[in-house]
Structure 1
Amino acid sequence: MIVRMTGAFLRALLIALAIATPALLLPDVGADAAQVTVLVALVAGAFTFVEYYSQFPSILEFRFAPPVNRMRYFTMFSMVLLLTVFFSGAALENPIASLLMTLSELMARAVDFPFSPVRLVLLALPSDTTAETTAMVRSAAGIAYVVALLGVLAFGLMVRIYGWPVRYGAFNVWINLPLFDPTGGGDVLTRLKRDSIVNLVLGFLLPFLLPAFVKLAGALLDMSAVTNPHTLIWVMTAWAFLPANLMIRGIALYRVADIIEEKRRRTYAEARSDDVLQAA
């Protein structure tokens, strides 16, 4: 129980730290924004603690199949940290911050090309947006999108090269996919592959679709909020992390389907061998 409580507390602390990072490092954060950030961090930390302290699954997927959730967390935290350091500028004044700023600039330039999701984000901005705001949004979108791609690529390599989740122990569908009902109708294998493809397609399309949706709903949204670095950090993090999370989930579901299919094939082969031996 002590080990479980300690692990749950550390995870809750890490989640709260990720949410509070912009408010802690950005030079100009209002008192109201800081209070809201602390409240959200406490709520998210409390939810994480309850989820990981409980012995039974409730909402969070892949609890007992590391490192899926760790990969999700570090992808999100890397986005928030790099964006925060980038917008903090010279206020931090240390070599690590300078290195992260240089890295962030390179990442932003790497994906700033025609028809990229970054360019679509810029097209979603109002026509009267200043050049300074446009440059700020371009850099934030580029950093967030590159980190999202790296997170998805890292998990894909982990599945392909290290054989997740087989090398990390037995995979239990009930405790790792609490929202998936195996008795919901239809073949489990078919449903897993279908859900996997849906997640992968949505994860790929969302960075393109979200800017288009924002452009269409421009009259209902206040785009002036993106001039605030604190708001822009979380907008770009949500824009890039949600698709990355869907793609990671899609890869994981497809891998689980492959394991089930392989186990079925092996079981059927053993059954046919037993039938042949009995007939002989």
Structure 2
Amino acid sequence: MVSRIAGAVLRAVLMVVLISTPSMLLPGTHSDTTQIVALVAIAAAVFTFAEYNSAYPSLVEFRDAPPFNRIRFVALFVCVLSLSLIARGGTDASTLARFIEAVGQNLSETIDFPYSPVRLMVLMLPQDADLGLISSVRTAAGVSYLVSVLSLAVFVVLMRVNNWPSSKSGFNVWVNMPTFDPTAGGDIVDRLQRDSQVNLILGFLLPFIIPAAVKLASDVIDPISLSEPHTLIWTVTAWAFLPASLIMRGIAMGRVAQLIEDKRRRTVSDQSLQLA
């Protein structure tokens, strides 16, 4: 009980740090922005504490199957921190900020080819955007894309090395996948495999769909202004993190489907041996 509360408090504090990082690092943050960030951070902390302190599932998936959510959080935090340091470098450049910016520029120039996700992010900008804004968006896209790809690679490696999500206590589908109803009808393995494929396809397409959707919507509504550092950080982070999260979820659901299928196969084999 005590360890559960302590873990929930720690996760809630980490959520506050994550959401508050841009406001703490960027100079000249407006007081209204600070108040909004504080409100969002408190709401996220309360939600996180309630989710991890409860014995019953609600919304957070793979809650008891580390390091799924840990990798996602670290990737999100690294992305937000890196983009915040780059934005801060415009007024207070540091060695770390310059290094991250240089990596982002080199990477963005490498993957900024026609129809690439980074090129689409740049094309999302207004036609009269200045070169400084274009460079900032391209660099931020390169850094966030690198972080998302590395997070996927780390998850796949750990899944193979540690045989995730197998553990001594077993894998509880109800606790770790509260939004998935195994009794909704149809074979659970087929449904998991179908949902896995849907998540993988969406995760692959979203980096291309999001900039195109924003560009089309800008003809109807006022487009978002990426010249504001906070908007740039969170927009580019969402653009890179959501697809990576969906792909990771698709891989995880496919792995769970494989475990259930293997369990069924062993059960049938044991029954055949008993009958023999």
TM-score bracket for this pair, using the shorter chain length: over 0.9
Whichever residue aligns with residue 192 of structure 2, its letter is L
Matches of 1:103 and 1:18 in 2, distance apart? 22
Shift of 1:144: 1.1
Shift of 1:95: 4.2
The two structures have a TM-score, normalised by structure 2, of 0.95
Whichever residue aligns with residue 149 of structure 1, its letter is V
1:60 is the counterpart of 2:28: no
Shift of 1:195: 0.4
Matches of 1:136 and 1:236 in 2, distance apart? 11
Shift of 1:204: 0.4
Shift of 1:115: 2.2
Whichever residue aligns with residue 201 of structure 1, its letter is I
Counterpart of 1:198? Answer: 198
Matches of 2:271 and 2:49 in 1, distance apart? 45
Matches of 1:103 and 1:127 in 2, distance apart? 26
Give the alignment of 1:116-265 within 5 angstroms: 116-167=116-167, 169-223=169-223, 225-265=225-265
SS at match of 2:89: helix
Matches of 2:84 and 2:220 in 1, distance apart? 28
Counterpart of 1:273? Answer: 273
Structure 2: stretches of 5+ with no match in the other structure = none
Question: After superposition, what is the alpha-carbon deviation per residue over 1:216-270, rounded to whole angstroms, capped at 9, x for unaligned?
Answer: 1112343352110111100001111111110110010000001001111111111
Counterpart of 2:81? Answer: 81
SS at match of 2:137: helix
Shift of 1:163: 1.1
Give the alignment of 1:5-24 within 5 angstroms: 5-24=5-24
Provide the aligned C-alpha RMSD in A. Answer: 1.6
SS at match of 1:45: helix
CA spacing shift, 1:54–1:48, aligned 2, 3 Å: same
Judge conservation of contact 1:149–1:244 (CA < 8 Å) in 2.
yes
Shift of 1:38: 0.9
Judge conservation of contact 1:111–1:146 (CA < 8 Å) in 2.
no
Q: Which moved more, 1:21-30 or 1:189-198?
A: 21-30
Shift of 1:143: 1.1
Whichever residue aligns with residue 126 of structure 2, its letter is P
Matches of 1:226 and 1:130 in 2, distance apart? 12
Q: Which moved more, 1:220-229 or 1:187-196?
A: 220-229
Q: How many residues align?
A: 276
SS at match of 1:164: coil
Judge conservation of contact 2:122–2:137 (CA < 8 Å) in 1.
yes
1:48 is the counterpart of 2:51: no
Judge conservation of contact 1:165–1:171 (CA < 8 Å) in 2.
yes
1:29 is the counterpart of 2:29: yes
Matches of 1:173 and 1:92 in 2, distance apart? 48
Shift of 1:121: 1.1
Matches of 2:5 and 2:215 in 1, distance apart? 46
Shift of 1:99: 3.8
Matches of 1:122 and 1:99 in 2, distance apart? 22
CA spacing shift, 1:71–1:265, aligned 2, 3 Å: same
SS at match of 1:57: coil
Shift of 1:111: 2.6
Matches of 2:164 and 2:92 in 1, distance apart? 39
SS at match of 2:147: helix
Shift of 1:165: 1.0
The two structures have a TM-score, normalised by structure 1, of 0.93
